[in-house]
Amino acid sequence: MREFDIIVVGGGHAGIEAACAASNMGCSVGFITMDKLAMGRMSCNPAIGGTAKGHLVREIDALGGMMGIIADRTGIQFRMLNKSKGPAVWSPRCQSDRKLYSEEAYSVVSNTKNLEIVEASVVDIIAEGKKVKGVITATGEQIQCSALVLSSGTFLNGLMHTGLNSVRGGRFGENPAIGITQSLINMGFESGRLKTGTPPRLKKNTINWNILEEQPGDEIPQPFSYQTDINNFPHLPQMSCYITYTDETVHKVLEKGFDESPMFTGRIKGVGPRYCPSIEDKIVRFADKNKHQLFLEPEGLDSDQIYLNGFSTSLPAEIQIEALHKIKGLEEVEMVRPGYAVEYDFFPPSQVDLTLETKLIEGLYFAGQINGTSGYEEAAAQGIVAGINAALKIQGKPEFVLKRSEAYIGVLIDDLVTKSTYEPYRMFTSRAEHRLLLRQDNADRRLMKYGHQFGLIDDKLIEKLSTREDIITKSVKLFENMKLHARNINPFLESKGSSGIDSAETISKLCKRPELTLKEIIGLNGTEQNPVVSSLIADEKALEQVEIELKYEGYIKRQFDMVDRLERYEATKIPLTFDFLTMKALSTEGREKLNKIKPRSIGQASRISGVTPSDISILLVYLKN
Amino acid sequence: MTSKSEPVKLDTSRRDELPEDTIVALATPPGIGAISVIRISGQKSFESTDKIFFGKSKIINASSHTIHYGKVSGDGINFIDDVLVSVYRAPNSYTGEDSVEISTHGSPLISKKIIELLLNTDVRMAEPGEFTKRAFLNNRIDLAQAEAVADVINSRTEASLKGARNQLDGVLSNKVHEMRSSLINASSFVELGLDFAEEDIEFINSNELDKRILNIKTEIDKLLSTYSFGKVIRDGVNVALVGQPNVGKSSILNYILKESRAIVSKIPGTTRDVIREEVSIDGILFRLFDTAGIRFSEEEIEKEGILRSRQTIKDSDVVIFIYDVEQKIDTELLNEIYTLISKDKVIVALNKIDILPNTMLKADVYISALTGAGMKELFKKLKAQTFGNSVYSEKTAIVSNLRHYNCLTKANEYLNNARESISNKLSGEFISVDLRNAENSLGEIIGEVTTDDILNNIFMKFCIGK
């Protein structure tokens, strides 16, 4: 009988991170996937990152995850979104070569030591006395483990819809996973149903590209990963996306298909995401809008397919093609594959703990869409946390939970566990109350120490970071005192349209002027002789950090103050054994919710909807004793 | 992260609430019993007790767990009752703080009067359950008792919630809801621009955003300006009647009492005391103080009275200065009043115009306590003094609660910050910091604080989704 420390079920983005993290931490890992060539397959759009999602990728990378590395090697367009806004919302995004991404993922996984890829379909989970023991595959094989990470994506009882036709499957051309849901329900888990959708794929050479608006990548592309060698980046030739729009004629055609829509006729029971609605949803919900933007995204360097982002649909195929032909540039397009909606089982995430271990079965972890999230990045973020925690548990080490003030990953998991979700959950920067602190540019400063602590980040990287930290600290301190004199700086200020100074001003104060950059200021005569300044000029990344810290000092300080204020609630821990049900003084709703979610801190408890401030006072009373 | 490395160093000694105020309440059930016990707790317990307690020695010097006999008096002259004072020094008291228990004869009037005297020192009325809560915070009670506290907190919150609901069913709640949703609306535009960078959404430009914020700010300012009025509704208005002897202060007082027909209470006092009456005029509580002279006197007893009169004037919201047609205005006295209270709070009333209707003497109102002439005008002036020029109807949202007032003030500050960020041309995420804080401050008033509101608003109103 085969036996591993940890089994990971599902070879998607969550599974890859969980499997790699756990095996790199020294655990033996059995990585079960139905099709090893489908590893890391991008089921939806061929892109990684985007607003808030790009932050997640940077954080995964700082913890020693794989997503950023794979995306850097297989990206065919890199853009930093939101460049016109402040640094906290800059978000890296790339278009990926779908085929290469999957191949690269397979290569990364198969080169990981302690890890064995097992091609199989899991039909049952074995648990003894509320502790996980292993899985049974479709061939009847029993594989044992001490911890199990379930990252089965959209495959649990997956059902794909195009018009009124529905086919069982987790992804186009792939079988669903049957059995796991029932197995979990038998253990006492509660399941739900969600829906997501994907647009049609188009044949590249049937599109009239000449009349479409081009959207190229950044002139100087930036990688996701701290480990990517900037001198050898990007690896692949770069491509553009193109933009087109629907109009009222297109909408009219689509409306014809509404009575055969699995959504509107009630065939689809699952709840879909409001932020990523199907085109038919958009027409109905936003009836006053007479056009919708669409993006034509390349599927890869050699691919003859184009992904029509913004046109997710489950209408009948003939309606899809008819509507496509009314769209500018797509008049003669050939549809390679129609769009479809997929329904799948998920397990409302209030059933897992902040470590992603289920509250019901010890050693069982859920990661990714099974927890109700949508998106590769959200899945990968949970994957790495589940993998690390599974390994820590086996090694008898303290668990790993990121705070909301530390990482988007912390926000993501806290939201899931504390608020649960009834629609697919996607990350947004607006979900992070400490947004100004959780920037993509400082993910390494926030999180790399943890990756290093778990052995997922090597010494070299952490040493580089600590040298940089040293430069940053010294520079910030220096610039708070170092003054520039009017006679030296006023001509420069004038040239920048900035008002002159009377006698002298600190670099720190000057840097706060929006029209000036730190680099320009310290480039003025005299300062570069200072050893701190010269080391700063030599390190672009450190320079960026210092500039942000100085420019937005007031705001950043206020956010830190807020973190401070909230911290005493976060730091007041609630023991796992705490019995909420015996506390008669709690409000009825509060008691039920607390018992269900079993918050780990007063801070978490206060975020549960239905828990009142008086419930919190009462909890504090009990915790004091 | 649960391990050692913490990004932020914290002072863990801080506590949720640090009880600093000294509080007082009747510890025995209200009503007539053999004895009543008044409990005081907090840093100033001894100091405050000494101000009203006249015994052999000062309480502040007394040892813990000792009992002292003496009399209670506001002025050391007129004694209210013989009492026993028990002294408990921190931490060996019920609450764990310095505490005093005053045992009096069991009359509601006596305990009420003693508590009133204490409230004039640095002591405030305790909230229900507050002694027990302090006991808990100071680790003075065990688990079983903690459970009882929890019940108290709960019942108390529910009671106050109910109270809050009653109030919030009203216009204030609607107003705050309204302002908050306009704010969330404005916020949604800001967030949209940040989170849906690739969408073709027309989001708000900074002028428009600033205009919206300014509109909300104007509404908040309006609400804040109602606070003094709201306070009047809640706490009443203190009116001091001042004048030379025999100008008719008492007859004016009596006329008002008769006219208002709604005597709330009459607190007995001697002629040398400040006499206080509570009347309700058009639903507003007026506390009328008939002061003794405030002029220089040789007599020891009168000196005390003068001191008290001066204090009364200082504490008043309005002063009615009275003189009569038979004597010249006492400008010296009037000027003295002006040193105690701002000029615009003084109404000069000329009494006894029935004797000399066509007087050339100057005053704000011309009255006769005998015939009632001009009294309506006096009431009108009183109300105008109280409410200023603002017009309030039942439909006006009014802030009467200090917590609400503070929340609104905070919201206003945040909106100012946000406007500053806009004028400094900062990007949305900086503006958003303050918009959110402002939303939360408004949300605190109506008990709604959730970050999901913005996202829900976005999903409801805008078409997005690359």
Q: Looking at beta carbons, which residues of chain A come within 8 Å of B196?
A: 51
Q: What is the pTM of this model?
A: 0.77
Q: Does domain A572-624 have CATH number 1.10.150.570?
A: yes
Rounded average pLDDT over B385-397: 63
d(CA A105, CA A111): 10
Average the pLDDT over each of A50-54, A159-163, B459-463 and give the range with the smallest value: B459-463
Residue of B nearest to A428 (CA): B195
Helix axes A588-597, A613-624, angle to 10 degrees: 60
d(CA B16, CA B211): 38
Partner-chain contact A622 B463, CB within 8 Å: no
Whether chain A has a CB inside 8 Å of the CB on B425: the answer is yes
d(CA B37, CA A616): 32
Q: Looking at beta carbons, which residues of chain A come within 8 Å of B194?
A: 51, 82, 85, 89, 429-430
Residue of B nearest to A54 (CA): B195
Q: On the CB side of B336, how many CA atoms lie within 13 Å of its CA?
A: 18
Q: What is the pLDDT of residues A3-33, one digit of tens each?
A: 999 999 999 999 999 999 999 999 999 999 9
Q: What is the pLDDT of residues A130-149, one digit of tens each?
A: 999 999 999 999 999 999 99
Of B198, B452, B465, the CB nearest to A277: B465
B16 vs B43, more confident: B43
Residue of A nearest to B134 (CA): A621
- Residue B267, pLDDT > 50, answer no
Partner-chain contact A406 B150, CB within 8 Å: no
| pLDDT given for residue B161 in this prediction | 42
CA distance A585 to chain B (A): 5
Mean of pLDDT over chain A:
93
Of A282, A428, A583, the CB nearest to B463: A282
- Domains along the sequence of chain B with CATH: 22-147 (3.30.1360.120), 171-226+399-461 (1.20.120.430), 234-387 (3.40.50.300)
Domain spans of chain A, in order of start: 3-192+344-453, 201-340, 459-555, 572-624
A-B interface: how many C-beta pairs under 8 angstroms?
159
Partner-chain contact A293 B5, CB within 8 Å: no
d(CA A371, CA A381): 12
- Residue A111, pLDDT > 80, answer yes
CA distance B173 to chain A (A): 19
- Which residue type occupies B198? E
d(CA B388, CA B382): 10
- DSSP for A509-561, please give it: HHHTSTT--HHHHHTSTTGGGSHHHHHHHT-HHHHHHHHHHHHTHHHHHHHHH
- Residue B143, pLDDT > 70, answer no
Residues 13-72 of B with CB under 8 A from A: 14, 16
Q: What is the pLDDT of residues A205-242, one digit of tens each?
A: 999 999 999 999 999 999 999 999 999 999 999 999 99
Partner-chain contact B451 A446, CB within 8 Å: no
Whether chain A has a CB inside 8 Å of the CB on B198: the answer is yes
- Residue B166, pLDDT > 60, answer no
**Token pair of B370 as six digits:** 């005998």
Query: What whole-number percentage of chain B has pLDDT above 90?
Result: 21
Q: So what CATH class is A3-192+344-453?
A: alpha beta
| pLDDT given for residue A170 in this prediction | 81
Q: Looking at beta carbons, which residues of chain B come within 8 Å of A564?
A: 8, 10
| pLDDT given for residue B382 in this prediction | 83
| pLDDT given for residue A210 in this prediction | 95
Backbone angles phi, psi at A346, to 5 degrees: -140, 170
Q: CA–CA distance from B455 to each of A195, A429, B197, B460 (Å)?
A: 20, 11, 15, 8
Q: Which residue has the tokens 């409801």?
A: B460
Partner-chain contact A406 B455, CB within 8 Å: no
Which residues does B54 contact at the CB level (< 8 Å), separation at least 6? Answer: B70, B71, B72, B73, B76, B79
Q: Looking at beta carbons, which residues of chain B come within 8 Å of A450?
A: 1, 5
Helices (H), A111-167: none
Q: CA–CA distance from A186 to each of A121, A152, B54, B121, B382 (Å)?
A: 19, 18, 77, 68, 76
d(CA A598, CA A609): 13
Residue of B nearest to A587 (CA): B154
Average the pLDDT over each of A559-573, B196-210, B305-319 and give the range with the smallest value: B196-210
Partner-chain contact B8 A552, CB within 8 Å: no
Partner-chain contact B154 A449, CB within 8 Å: no
| pLDDT given for residue A368 in this prediction | 96
B432 vs B158, more confident: B432
Residue of B nearest to A290 (CA): B463
Residues 224-283 of B with CB under 8 A from A: none
d(CA A121, CA A574): 39
Q: Which fold has domain A459-555?
A: Arc Repressor Mutant, subunit A (1.10.10)
CA distance B174 to chain A (A): 21
Q: On the CB side of B175, how many CA atoms lie within 13 Å of its CA?
A: 21
Partner-chain contact A275 B465, CB within 8 Å: yes
Q: Looking at beta carbons, which residues of chain A come within 8 Å of B138?
A: none
- Model ipTM over 0.90: no
Partner-chain contact A431 B7, CB within 8 Å: no
CA distance A303 to chain B (A): 21
Which helix (DSSP H) or strand (DSSP E) does residue B116 occupy? helix B108-119
| pLDDT given for residue B457 in this prediction | 61
Number of H helices, E strands in chain B: 14, 14
Q: Which residue has the tokens 């609607």?
A: B174
* Burial of B40: CB neighbours in 10 Å, binned 0-12, 13-18, 19+: buried
Q: Looking at beta carbons, which residues of chain A come within 8 Å of B96?
A: none
pLDDT band at B145 (very low <50, low <70, confident <90, very high): low
Q: Give the architecture (CATH level 2) of A201-340.
A: Beta Barrel (2.40)
Mean of pLDDT over chain B:
76
Which residues does A436 contact at the CB level (< 8 Å), separation at least 6? Answer: A86, A88, A552, A555, A556, A559, B429, B430, B433
